[in-house]
Structure 1
Amino acid sequence: MRAFVIILGISCLYFLSGEAEQLKIGAFNVQIFGKTKFNKADVVDTLSKIVSRYDVILIQEIRDASMTVIYKFLDKVNNFTEPYFIYDMKISERLGRTRSKEQYAFLYREDKIRVEAVYQYEDPLDLFEREPYSVLLTAKDISPFFLVAIRTKPTAAFEELNALDDVYDELVSVFNITNGIILGDMSADCRYLSKTKYEQLDLVKDTRFTWLINSTEDTTTTTSDCSYDRIIMAGDLLNVVTKNGVFKFDEEYGLELPEAKDVSDHYPVEVSIKVNHPLKVCAFNVQVFGKTKFSNSDVVNILIKIVHQCDVILIQEIRDVSETIIHSFLELINRNIESNCCSNYSMHVSQRLGRTSSKEQYAFLYRTDKVNVLEEHQFSDPFDKFEREPYSILISTPQNDIPPFFLVAIHIKPTAAFEELNALDDVYDELVSVFNITNGIILGDMNADCRYLSQKKYQQLDLVKDTRFTWLINSTEDTTTTTSDCSYDRIVIAGDVKCYIVKNSAGVVKFDMDYELTSEEAQSVSDHYPVQFQLQGK
């Protein structure tokens, strides 16, 4: 048999039906899955229910010379799950030394999983009755990983299991990653593999591998008590496993023993992986955001799209004496959230700030399922250093392991950029005292470039010289939609929260390119681009 690998290409992946908090993976020996079993409607209905539990599931023991039953079954599954989600499939060739050949099939949710490559192990020494078949997968907010399908020959369980470390090593070389999961009916118990033989396995002695289904689990629907079906993990993916076990579908669906055995003599085994969604934080000077701009529906539609890209966003330069526009804007933001997509946004707004009659407000808009606002604080500015005093919120993130941190909103007066920037370390120190944490992020339109702040003056800033602070948006970034090339909008971070920054996530959101706007259309939205970065739990 010739080994083959098909590379399908990696691209961006987007959820179509909302964000799940875990990825569920299963493996199920369906026991002689061919035309006879497929013609049993009750059995197929139960199998469809079982498949629908998983984001990706390995189906084993497909015995069908016509190679049509598994495709018909995929249609049945999708008839069961539509319109909520649909499955696609990758299937091996027919494998086996005798006429009774079998196939492996990976069924996966299209909205959750992308298959980047498939690989059929060559087995040059003919060690396997049914050679392992693998898929390389990507899923949003999870490191790429590969799955290895195996159904060992019961009477050669030890020999085949002892060759799987070589299969893993080959796949590490082929896919260039170490995150791998070997799963399937391994006949790894009872008369096929004794406790002594189990302890002698390379996959047990090699500390790279962890067996998730242990020998005390019964993976059969019969009266035996054997742990035949297993899941073995390697790589860093083990750190995000939330749970694993055996799915006893007879108990779940109220089946009698004969009904369960009609489905299979095996239970599915499963593992769940934590999906650690990054938190996207943005800041946007919307440029004179008042009644005139809000009355332009085209502009407002773009602004809504920009907000929907962020989990928490600072809106600056809100100029509205009535203080109603930002609340009306929030209503439109929530009204235009796609069905089943995301939670609503809530908001914390500062008082109107400024020395003149042209006062402004800061507003933090945030997704309520991703962010909890614990406190807010308005800097008192006893020495009147700021045109618009910094406004802060302390937040926690319930969906991940990011420690609490505070955000500091600032829109600096252009002609006093150096002086105001040089006072922000005092603001930070006050907030450390007020909130009793050091994790802080200062963000906004700082006018920190071009004619308002020379490179020499920038280097003299306390926020630059003080090693507690890290600037995420550097001076080479253009944060303006005009013909100028200035890095006015910045993000400055301090504390251990900097360890949670997603690599290369800090940058400028060029919405004119995203939404194919002309220069004139972009400038009607704002003369600034939003800036952004992402945080992700460990």
Structure 2
Amino acid sequence: MRSLPFYPMMVLVLVGLGGYLGCDPNSIQLPLESVVTGARGTASSTTHYPASIPDRVANRLLIGSFNIQRLGPSKLGQPWVMEKLASVIQRFDVIALQEITSQDQTTVPQLLTYVNQGGGKYAYTISPQIGRNTYFEQYVFVYDTTRVQTGQEYSYVIQDEQDYLYREPFVGRFQTISNNPFTFRLINMHTSPSEISVELDVLADVYVNVRQYEYPEDDIILLGDLNAAPDRFQKLGTIPSVDPLIVDVPTNTRKNKTLDNILIDIQKTREFTGRAGTIDLEQMFSIDLDDTERISDHLPIWAEFSFTESTGAATAVAGALSNAFR
């Protein structure tokens, strides 16, 4: 494949975790689109925040993100906590998880045992351990296999050779199980709190790189723990028509900071229904703050989408891409 020009500040390489539609991700070099300067920090005017997450229904898709705060031996040894984490995951069709810190590779399968109690059919894709020095995490996508298709071979890690990112994002390719499937890409990210002044700018480059690489897919969804409110997104907040869906809504357990978010191109991802928000864990489980913090110091966030691809050109794209899962 012919090499394409790089953005001079950094180089991004897509590192695959398996065959990716016959391409060698290590050979792909991506150009960057220009990013317009001028922070927005506001959600679409059509975004509404219901008091609680809606139930899962046939014609709607619930996508979420949850920093589950150091999933490892301590939490695995607390069945009450694991049951609560499983209850949260069961509210979603697809959820991106951050802070899997255990080196034991049976950790996520043990979590899925709780999730699938009662006959659930959830599965997961997982990144390698990512980090620096002695601290590493894994990203995970958990999804309901009765409603969504993906696989480990359709996921990859983005690495920047200049090492601007403490934990490089994990990207997954998904589509709903439907005659007219909604196809989309999720970029799972957990920024480093001490390095967001650099990482949020680099994350803007990541978004446009993934969009270029995944073309003609138009539904690119960035989600995770960004450790910043939208008014502090810097370059990430300047990509034309790419908006945060969680604005002025606290996403930490103590409800005084907006740290987590879901970003979409509001003009292209017409499948977004206009509903997004957080899950209030205290309310969901009728527990106090101390018990809530046993689960996590973050709240799960969510956004709702149509289960089928929007009409128009995007439908033709969805039909072409659906063959990748057959």
Pick the TM interval, shorter chain. 0.7 to 0.9
1:9 positional shift: 6.1
Say yes or no: does 1:233 pair with 2:273: no
Q: Secondary structure at the match of 2:110?
A: helix
Residue matched to 2:220: 180
Residue matched to 2:161: 124
For structure 2, the 5+ residue unaligned runs are 1-11, 23-55, 317-326
Say yes or no: does 1:205 pair with 2:243: no
CA distance 1:2–1:162, shift in 2 (3 Å): closer
1:515-536: CA deviation from partner (whole Å, max 9, x where unpaired): xxxxxxxxxxxxxxxxxxxxxx
1:204 positional shift: 1.4
1:87 positional shift: 0.6
Say yes or no: does 1:98 pair with 2:133: yes
1:77-476 superposed matches below 5 A:
77-80=115-118, 82=119, 85-115=120-150, 117-139=154-176, 140=178, 141-176=180-215, 177-189=217-229, 195=231, 197-198=232-233, 201-214=234-247, 216-222=248-254, 225-234=256-265, 238-242=269-273, 243-276=275-308
1:134 positional shift: 0.4
Q: Secondary structure at the match of 2:222?
A: strand
Q: Once superposed, which parts of structure 1, at least 4 consecutive aligned residues long, lie more than 4 Å away? A: 7-10
CA contact (8 A) 1:7 1:118 kept: no
CA contact (8 A) 2:271 2:309 kept: no
Name the amino acid aligned to 1:4: V
Residue matched to 1:65: 103
More deviation, 36-45/166-175: 166-175
Counterpart-to-counterpart distance in 1, 2:238 and 2:211: 19
What is the identity percentage for the equivalent residue pairs of Structure 1 and Structure 2? 25
Name the amino acid aligned to 2:165: F
1:165-196: CA deviation from partner (whole Å, max 9, x where unpaired): 2112222233222311110110013xxx8x4x
For structure 1, the 5+ residue unaligned runs are 11-17, 279-400, 402-498, 504-538
CA contact (8 A) 1:150 1:185 kept: yes
Q: Secondary structure at the match of 1:233?
A: strand
CA distance 1:137–1:118, shift in 2 (3 Å): same
CA distance 1:90–1:277, shift in 2 (3 Å): closer
1:112 positional shift: 1.1
Bigger relative contact order (CA 8 A; separation at least 6): 2
Counterpart-to-counterpart distance in 1, 2:190 and 2:21: 28
1:311-365: CA deviation from partner (whole Å, max 9, x where unpaired): xxxxxxxxxxxxxxxxxxxxxxxxxxxxxxxxxxxxxxxxxxxxxxxxxxxxxxx
CA contact (8 A) 2:164 2:199 kept: yes
Q: Secondary structure at the match of 1:96?
A: strand
CA distance 1:155–1:257, shift in 2 (3 Å): same
Q: Secondary structure at the match of 2:82?
A: helix
Counterpart-to-counterpart distance in 1, 2:104 and 2:90: 25
1:8 positional shift: 6.2
Name the amino acid aligned to 2:188: A
Q: Secondary structure at the match of 2:237?
A: helix
Counterpart-to-counterpart distance in 1, 2:201 and 2:140: 23
Residue matched to 1:333: none
CA contact (8 A) 1:178 1:235 kept: no
1:94 positional shift: 0.3
CA distance 1:34–1:73, shift in 2 (3 Å): same
Query: What is the TM-score when the length of structure 1 is the normalising length?
Result: 0.46
1:23 positional shift: 0.5
Residue matched to 2:30: none
Name the amino acid aligned to 1:43: V
CA contact (8 A) 1:129 1:153 kept: yes
1:212-250: CA deviation from partner (whole Å, max 9, x where unpaired): 011x1111112x500000111126553221211111121
Residue matched to 1:444: none
Q: Given the alignment, which residue of 69, 75, 86 partners 1:48?
A: 86
CA contact (8 A) 1:35 1:64 kept: yes
Residue matched to 2:15: 4
CA contact (8 A) 1:179 1:235 kept: no
Name the amino acid aligned to 1:107: V
More deviation, 253-262/161-170: 161-170
Residue matched to 1:299: none
Name the amino acid aligned to 1:91: I
CA distance 1:206–1:9, shift in 2 (3 Å): closer
Name the amino acid aligned to 1:187: N
1:76 positional shift: 1.6
CA distance 1:172–1:240, shift in 2 (3 Å): same
Counterpart-to-counterpart distance in 2, 1:234 and 1:277: 15
Counterpart-to-counterpart distance in 2, 1:40 and 1:211: 34
Counterpart-to-counterpart distance in 2, 1:247 and 1:237: 26
Name the amino acid aligned to 1:270: W
**Larger gyration radius, structure 1 or structure 2:** 1
1:147 positional shift: 0.2
Counterpart-to-counterpart distance in 1, 2:57 and 2:296: 32
Counterpart-to-counterpart distance in 1, 2:271 and 2:57: 17
Counterpart-to-counterpart distance in 1, 2:137 and 2:189: 11
CA distance 1:234–1:142, shift in 2 (3 Å): farther
CA distance 1:22–1:8, shift in 2 (3 Å): farther
Counterpart-to-counterpart distance in 2, 1:27 and 1:277: 22
1:427-481: CA deviation from partner (whole Å, max 9, x where unpaired): xxxxxxxxxxxxxxxxxxxxxxxxxxxxxxxxxxxxxxxxxxxxxxxxxxxxxxx
1:20 positional shift: 1.0
Name the amino acid aligned to 1:175: E
CA distance 1:237–1:54, shift in 2 (3 Å): farther
1:32 positional shift: 0.9
Counterpart-to-counterpart distance in 2, 1:41 and 1:178: 41
Query: What is the TM-score when the length of structure 2 is the normalising length?
Result: 0.75
